Amino acid sequence: MQTMNIPDIGQAAPDFRLRAADGTFYTLSEYLGDQNVLLVFYPLAFSPVCTHQLPELQAMLPRFEAADTAVFGVSVDSHWSNAAFARSLGVRFPLLSDWKREASAAYGVLLPDQGYSGRASFLVDKQGRILWREISENTGNIEEIPSLEAALAALAKA
């Protein structure tokens, strides 16, 4: 995976304005001072590994909510595709469309030759700084899904 421009732990997280499946726009800056944010970049809706990954995240959602953390999935799919994907999986956290690939590029996880992002997770604290991150080397390997337990452990230490 290309590792240019990946924000380091402690650095300011890049802001974004992305559309959710229901058409609502979300920005990182609206959570500053109020909640931590977990951004889960997934390559493509309906792909096999993503179809496995997001239900696991949904199952752990109460633990993130208890840790005062908003959770977002981010992909380059349209918000309509993300709506269908969320419905098919029963996912209730927002899936955001990075249609213009700006957020994926800002977080250094865009795979330009493929046209989609890599599989990565970034935990942003209430001050807008990267608290934890994990980036998969192989987006198609189910064993390399970023660890939700590691994200929760980073929250517990903060």
50 is catalytic: yes
Which residues lie below 8 Å from residue 94, measured CB to CB, with a gap of 6+? 20, 21, 22, 24, 26, 72, 73
Point out the catalytic residue in the list 13, 37, 50, 154.
50
Interatomic CA distance for residues 131 and 153, integer angstroms:
11
Name the residues annotated as catalytic. 50
